[in-house]
Structure 1
């Protein structure tokens, strides 16, 4: 009997990928798809190598039924969504994968699957992507020309505007003015335009995630917020003027606040988001507050792309002990943002 209702076709189409084949990704996806409510929140499609999907289920000690579908273009119009769709790709052979090792074959596999999903997004066949952990070094060995996956995504999707990674933990989100660059270069990347772009982007993204009026604050750069200029003038010359200009354009953000205390406000529920000035300023705090729960959102792209904030965990790959919490959180964000931003059909 067809139990699908009209509203089922308004669910976002969310693509899941298995991540680096030598890591914990296949196991995590099996554990995620075994959760009973997953297919109630989205029209889910798993994309990847059949043998790798079977291996992930074996490692997890689970069996998850999927509906084979020939192509991503066929997913949105499915009559039955009680189980995930599965689009098979042959990107890597079992003998090319050595568990727990970053290798070119695994990186190439990740790129092929993610590129296919992004092509489907550009064609409006899917609304969001949630990918299992990948390894940047393996991807570079496998042909990635960019410093990280976010820049690869932005190039593939034709993004010309500002983009950056968001790291999230529960209801707290962070954005960055600079990201994967040497720390000695971070000060040179501070300017009012980048600070305003990072702030506007996270504000809009939180609204797409269901928060109507986000409480966003901006961190300082120097110790003690510069101590009135004695420890640096970036707060006086760059950051505070950027905050004022944002306020003048109607964005109710605050700051700059000392970076060593701003996360206390977030912990106590006073903030929804913090704009940080460089990578580890936010990452250390977020990971300390909940390493196994955090999510990375690729901000500024035309569709939501999410992933766990942790890595491939090569050291525990194949043991069946991977924690599913972060990828479950990443999937939930992809569903919410995919619903808010999905392409009308």
Structure 2
């Protein structure tokens, strides 16, 4: 389980954007705001609508103590504060349904939180779960959070999604693309870049000497070319080149055993070739405590790895553990950056 180092005396300021209101996001946000575990590690700035946050608190059965501030008046926040966008009336919510108004609320809240981080007003960003269908209704062309962040902040650098569970990370070379297109999107340089970014993010999380395993693409990692040659032509050369760059990396290994090897061998991350190749393993290992982290930015962006859970919306039974772990990972990464531990790979 992720925890903040004992040496952190400065509690980083973390913006918590409220996600899709038709699911468990507002309940989770209320639970995070009232969590003593989070209060001891971070100063929270919730971004969203007070009425929706209070609705979530009623579902969760918790009492809020949170002041409303402007976006320009958060620097000295100690107790949790709220930047109230006043952007959604509770009566407009349709629980368990992806809607335009729900997507617009999540988009606006996320944009505002990212802007605070871009301006240096907060040290990191977290958000409660989004629903991609609702996000696309509000923001046509929306693919995923990585591309949305790059678009909103006008970035040219690579932004990638990592999944974090306890002491093991999952990085991936391709993400939200059709499976039929994966092989065509693999390249030696692309894999080398993903290894370098993985090592950088691991260091920023406080791991001094990251060790990375790389999965193959094909069954049995190609079995010497019997089931495909991507391991021979692309993945293997990329791993060798990354090792020459000074990274502690090895592979490619068969995808059906690479996580077993990582867990038993004390490795810190597995780089997989496509989305579900790693996601299935990570969610089986710990669905309710997994974290998604967006890497490649000047500040950490974290969220629980689970979704909006429409089936339990408003029932007051949502588990906040993954969201707590997301905030604590953001705290850890922000604290490492404060101390100047990592400037570059």
Q: Is the pair's TM-score, using the shorter chain for normalization, greater than 0.5?
A: yes
Does residue 1:187 correspond to 2:183, yes or no? Answer: yes
Q: Give the Cα separation in 2 of the matches to 1:36 and 1:66.
A: 14
CA drift of 1:210 comes to 0.6
Q: Judge conservation of contact 1:18–1:48 (CA < 8 Å) in 2.
A: yes
Q: Judge conservation of contact 1:127–1:341 (CA < 8 Å) in 2.
A: no
Tell me the alpha carbon deviations over residues 96-149 of structure 1, each in whole angstroms, 9 at most, x when there is no partner. 211111001010111111111111111110111110001011011012433112
Does residue 1:43 correspond to 2:43, yes or no? Answer: yes
Report SS of the residue matched to 1:253.
strand
Total equivalences in the alignment: 334
Structure 1, 113-122 or 305-314: larger mean CA deviation: 113-122
Instruction: Give 1:226's aligned residue.
Output: 222
CA gap of 1:197–1:8, structure 2 versus 1, over 3 A, is closer
CA drift of 1:34 comes to 2.0
Q: Unpaired segments of 5 or more residues in structure 1?
A: 1-6
Tell me the alpha carbon deviations over residues 30-83 of structure 1, each in whole angstroms, 9 at most, x when there is no partner. 222222132221221111101101101000001021122222x321233xx1x2
- Aligned runs of 1:249-260 on 2, under 5 Å? 249-260=245-256
Structure 1, 37-46 or 131-140: larger mean CA deviation: 37-46
Instruction: Give 1:28's aligned residue.
Output: 28
Query: Out of 81, 84, 91, which is 2:87 matched to?
Result: 91
- Aligned runs of 1:287-306 on 2, under 5 Å? 287-306=283-302
CA gap of 1:341–1:144, structure 2 versus 1, over 3 A, is farther
Q: Give the Cα separation in 1 of the matches to 2:265 and 2:282.
A: 14
Q: Give the Cα separation in 1 of the matches to 2:192 and 2:157.
A: 13
Instruction: Give 1:138's aligned residue.
Output: 134
Instruction: Give 2:14's aligned residue.
Output: 14
Q: Judge conservation of contact 1:130–1:334 (CA < 8 Å) in 2.
A: yes
Q: Give the Cα separation in 1 of the matches to 2:141 and 2:10.
A: 36
Q: Give the Cα separation in 1 of the matches to 2:289 and 2:185.
A: 30
Q: Give the Cα separation in 2 of the matches to 1:343 and 1:198.
A: 25
Instruction: Give 2:343's aligned residue.
Output: none
Query: Out of 192, 195, 204, which is 2:200 matched to?
Result: 204
Q: Judge conservation of contact 2:213–2:262 (CA < 8 Å) in 1.
A: no
The CA RMSD measured in Å over matched residues stands at: 1.7
Q: Give the Cα separation in 2 of the matches to 1:269 and 1:249.
A: 22
CA gap of 1:218–1:318, structure 2 versus 1, over 3 A, is same
- Aligned runs of 1:222-301 on 2, under 5 Å? 222-268=218-264, 270-301=266-297
CA gap of 1:121–1:343, structure 2 versus 1, over 3 A, is farther
Structure 1 segments of 4+ aligned residues over 6 angstroms from their partners: none
Instruction: Give 1:76's aligned residue.
Output: 75
CA drift of 1:22 comes to 0.7
Instruction: Give 1:335's aligned residue.
Output: 331
Instruction: Give 1:4's aligned residue.
Output: none
CA drift of 1:267 comes to 2.9
Q: Give the Cα separation in 1 of the matches to 2:143 and 2:46.
A: 27
Instruction: Give 2:4's aligned residue.
Output: none
Structure 1, 39-48 or 180-189: larger mean CA deviation: 39-48
Q: Give the Cα separation in 2 of the matches to 1:37 and 1:230.
A: 52
Q: Unpaired segments of 5 or more residues in structure 2?
A: 1-6, 341-345
CA gap of 1:329–1:256, structure 2 versus 1, over 3 A, is same
CA drift of 1:159 comes to 2.1
